[in-house]
Structure 1
Amino acid sequence: MRKHMKMMAAGCMALTVLAGCGGSGDDSKTIKIGVDYEQTGGVADYGKAHVNGIKLAIKEINKKGGVNGKKLELVVADNKSEITEVGTVTTKLMTEDEVVMVLGPATSGNTSAAINVANKNKIPVISASATANNVTENKDGSVTKYGYKICYSDNYQGEALAKFALSKDAKRAVIVSDSGSDYAKGLAESFKKEFADGSGTIVASKSYQTGDTDFKSILTSLKSESFDVMFVPGYYQEAGPLVKQAREMGIDAMILGPDGFDSENFIKQAGNANLNNVFFSTHFSKVGENQKVKDFVKKYQAAYDKEPGCFEALGYDLAYYAADVIKRAGKDVTPETVNKALGDTKAKFSGVTGSFTMKKDHTPDKVITVVELKNGEQVSAAEVK
């Protein structure tokens, strides 16, 4: 715990120093990067995890000498999980703090809000976890000039999960989703189409509202249906109690979920004993023999006294990707040279969450990992594309 406190204290001191720093031109000894994440509010778990990973990576990069002879400095801001606050925070980072790029936010809605500000100020934003299909698109469908992400999109994720279900010989599925979530809607639609294309049948679709905790009426209505898999496109806050209640009511079919399941709180809320025959897509898994992953896990544990999860790993990769982009931007590091380097579709990046190249639509060409839980522990991981 002492190491964790030292690291956090160092982060706080860095913020104090940053307040008096100038830009990132040739005469500067540092390059400033904005960090715009949900560190309080409804999805603080995701934001804080990203920031921990980012800070660890930047500490490592600077220890090795930084990039092109300059240290990287983080200007960290809390958007409070609120879209209105995202606009305020992102604007300040770009116009007052003079960053060359902004990392974050975590959710798709907040990232879209940040990209709107990015387009006005011509400073790029890169999200590690904004999976919504249209995050990097303008309203007319064209690709936004200053918005990027290093994670797969929901339509790709939903399709991959349907393919995975079919590979497990699932023929009949039910879907239980959040009626007010664009994230859930996108996942459900792409899952339905791919599952049907693979000769699967959706026998029932049910919905709940964000913040619901009692799913017994929905689950009772499903008990009369015959199905092989229950697909729950949603976040851990509702998915945890839903899975717990499903198992307690005797529903033992395979349960399949998206990356929104990937939180320690999902395990806590569902209970380890209820997490068997449960699978979810993720950007990162500790299962396997990948040495790069093992090294990251070891370093993260040393820094924070706990194991990293998906979003810590995404934050870590995002910071290293940002450093790679800055290196490719050359000696004159400006928002425009950084943006040009971000748009390079030939540059390959390899991190703990996998390897990718950036496509013309500013999304990565990347595989999806689906992990299996047994008694709440990840026991296997399969790549799906």
Structure 2
Amino acid sequence: MKYNIPRGTFDILPEDSYKWQFLQDSFRKMATCFGYEEITTPIFEVAELFERSSGESSDVVQKEMYRFQDKKGREFALRPEGTAPVVRSYVENHLDKLSSRTKLFYLGPMFRYDRPQAGRYRQFYQYGIEFIGSNNPYYDAEVIAVAFLWLNKLGLNNLRLEINSVGCPDCSAVYDKALQEYYRPFLPKLCPDCVKRLETNPRRLLDCKVPSCIEFRKNAPSQMDYLDEPCKKHFSAVCDYLQAMNIPYTINPRIVRGLDYYTNTAFEIIYEGLGAQNSLVGGGRYNGLVEQIGGKSIPAIGFAGGFERLLLALEEEKIELIPPSKPDAYLVCVGDNTRLQILPYLNALRTKGLIVDYDPDKSSLKAQLKSAASSGAKYAIIIGENELATKTVNLKNLQTGEQIAIPMDEEYTINKMKN
């Protein structure tokens, strides 16, 4: 029987894996430069964690979460996003005792039952940042800077940073009432999801993708008009910090995040060339989440982005990532008696960091040298019975044809190749 990959998933084949490795390593370096440390959480958690953090009325919980019961009947879920697990770990492991400000980043797969399309999958890979410990608006700008500067460093030019404030619980409650009053006359024309959202989470109407609902939101009231003074001051300071960092931005009062835990700053980094699925990064503040899932009242902010859309953006701008390294050397073995005896030397070269190709299925000198040339290796290391007897190897430069005899010593071989 032939088996096919589940819908909405994909294999990362060897020909593409170096791109993923490059991006992950690059993100790690950028996050580390800003003082962030890596954290890894399980790919499944108790389902209640996401119900409490994301909101029971959110699309993630209602429609997209992969749930399952274990053999004891306990409810678990594959993680649909990375923030709640990181905050759970922060609370459970008392990371606040190590420092008043905690800087974390993560990489890994997430899962949502969604309609697969370009840049959107049911298993997708995210990178993310979580800063926990301060409400200083500088950290809003710093978190944004990690994402924006990294994407810019990769070579992406068609980026647009959009920012908004969704307010605090007090002023957002007033705004929710204003949205309900605005949308109520259109209730018969709203999509079924938005009819439910109007009572449970009216701000989600601003993010609906149904064409008729998009039309109604054009004249909807703006959250910016309902911010209280502390929220206005915080948002203004974030903008000042971004200007000081020379990070361009656009204020978009329609930005709402798909999860209920966001407060104050919300932002997205848009790539212009990807059509409808054009958001590379999304994030914002979640000052109430730590307390909501059992910790102290500690402010926090973060973001997440998907590698799949990022790769599409890089392809759109024809940005080539660094390909995998070619072999440093190709080991040519001549004579049946040498095949076992050269293995300690071969493994010693590899454990010292040298990329050495070797094919025991090829026996003739001519065939092995042909493979050595086609492998892209700079050197061929040729060993026959005479070389074994004298404990030497022939080092051949495949670009110049020059060949010299050197001692069969891995350190000497590596130094000679480097010089």
TM band (smaller chain): under 0.3
TM-score, normalised with respect to structure 2 = 0.21
TM-score, normalised with respect to structure 1 = 0.23
Higher relative contact order (CA 8 A, sep 6+): 1
